Structure 1
């Protein structure tokens, strides 16, 4: 069913399908000039202390004579992420219950769909994808419609994978608590800093933009363009993160599903992602 083997840092050998879809059309319009974009502009961020000091200090021209002019930091053009490894493996990390299958992931038009369902006899099938390409500094953005349901943990995130860390979670929602979305940074030693936002109407079953912006010395997390928190620490070289999306079933955090989890018209739950983009940042 699947081809290329993928070795995980926990020693689990998995197989993957590599597949992609063609370029996707712009999905957003720039709020200031009406230009079409594949992603909204990255959320604004507070300036670093280094830049504030630099702006306040006047340097006589004689002191910089012959010195190279510093290259200003800049943002690149958003790139649509649509080439994936589809995971085919039983997943036991965190005491999770699901088996990932390639046929639980597909595209409906431009929307990536991941399905989770109860196959009976204590067997749960779900989907997980990891981008074939790695990406560096910049904004990682998912416009996602997350499912609810007891014992589910849908997530959109990114990680090095080999080695696993660092990891940055753009959004995780515990299925029985759909009014809270969690965003978490994991450094190379798995030291974690978590932020959350609440929504009285719930975050599930409607589209929201979950993102983080990765800079050399910090990470900004945002929901619908509003920054929820900042983690300050100097990360490894700015290349190597893979985009990841999945639905975990059961496990230490959400607990086990029950009959209410699958009480839907077709007995399944879906994670739908209409836009996945990387906007490069050049320090």
Structure 2
């Protein structure tokens, strides 16, 4: 009988020891998991901070337009995936405007450098896609148009430099280049202290010996209607997209706006 009691007592002690060990292991595991979660949260927070600090583009909400354009710029009409920007123009009413479209601005201002973009365009009367630069300081000039075209003449690419001369008189130097119809084009601007040079698909198409010497930011948009492209007609298909990939943004100088 005494032997049975001893065996029973040993079994009870063994069970208690095993249970206590499992509790300790569970507590250690919970602590490890808590630390892992904390580390993951910190990593995510750091990633978010890095992403926010490196954002290059921001979509703009704007009703006002120029040159009798017909669009309302909506943030919802813009998708930004890193350096790829998708702008959708739609035929829809918004605050007394007949169309909506999209516009983005760079979050940095740049001074000199090389700027290259892959673009996908759609034809259609009234469409007016563009890539251009404006002064970081609020001013209407100078203005560098890296790329412009109107949807009724989609194979005629233009570039313009608008500026004031030493006497304060408005001047411009520009080009128009007829391109072969294809899916994708590459447009670029090389900007130095002494000149501006435009490229289409790697070909030098225009050089200006006048060049701005101030920080400028990039605008990418697709207007609808206006003095130059005219209003859309029944053949213009909506929604219509303008897709831009900023393949090379290599400034000499840059600063956050």
Same fold (TM over 0.5): yes
Q: For 1:54-93, what aligned pairs fall within 5 Å after superposition? A: 83-93=56-66
Find the counterpart in structure 2 of residue 98 from structure 1.
71
Find the counterpart in structure 1 of residue 115 from structure 2.
140
The alpha-carbon distance between structure 1 residues 190 and 87, as it changes in their structure 2 partners (threshold 3 A), is farther
Find the counterpart in structure 2 of residue 202 from structure 1.
181
8 Å CA contact 2:142–2:162 kept in 1: the answer is: yes
8 Å CA contact 1:126–1:248 kept in 2: the answer is: yes
| Distance across 1 between alignment mates of 2:249 and 2:173 | 22
**More deviation, 142-151/82-91:** 82-91
| Residue 279, structure 1, aligned to residue 256, structure 2 | no
- Normalising by structure 2, we get a TM-score of 0.70
Find the counterpart in structure 1 of residue 219 from structure 2.
244
Listed one character per residue, the Cα deviations across residues 166-186 of structure 1 (whole Å, up to 9, x for unaligned) are 111111111010111011111
Q: For 1:105-144, what aligned pairs fall within 5 Å after superposition? A: 105-107=78-80, 111-120=84-93, 123-144=98-119
Matched position secondary structure for 1:103 = helix
The alpha-carbon distance between structure 1 residues 207 and 129, as it changes in their structure 2 partners (threshold 3 A), is same
8 Å CA contact 2:111–2:213 kept in 1: the answer is: no
The alpha-carbon distance between structure 1 residues 232 and 87, as it changes in their structure 2 partners (threshold 3 A), is same
* Aligned-residue CA RMSD (Å): 2.6
Larger radius of gyration: 2
Superposition misfits of 4+ residues, deviation over 4 angstroms? 20-23
* Residue correspondences, number: 198
Question: Any gaps of 5 or more consecutive residues in structure 2?
Answer: 1-48
Listed one character per residue, the Cα deviations across residues 234-278 of structure 1 (whole Å, up to 9, x for unaligned) are 5224xx11111000100000001012112xxxx300011123432
Question: Any gaps of 5 or more consecutive residues in structure 1?
Answer: 1-19, 24-80
Q: For 1:7-26, what aligned pairs fall within 5 Å after superposition? A: 22=51
- Normalising by structure 1, we get a TM-score of 0.64
| Distance across 2 between alignment mates of 1:141 and 1:250 | 26
8 Å CA contact 2:196–2:211 kept in 1: the answer is: no
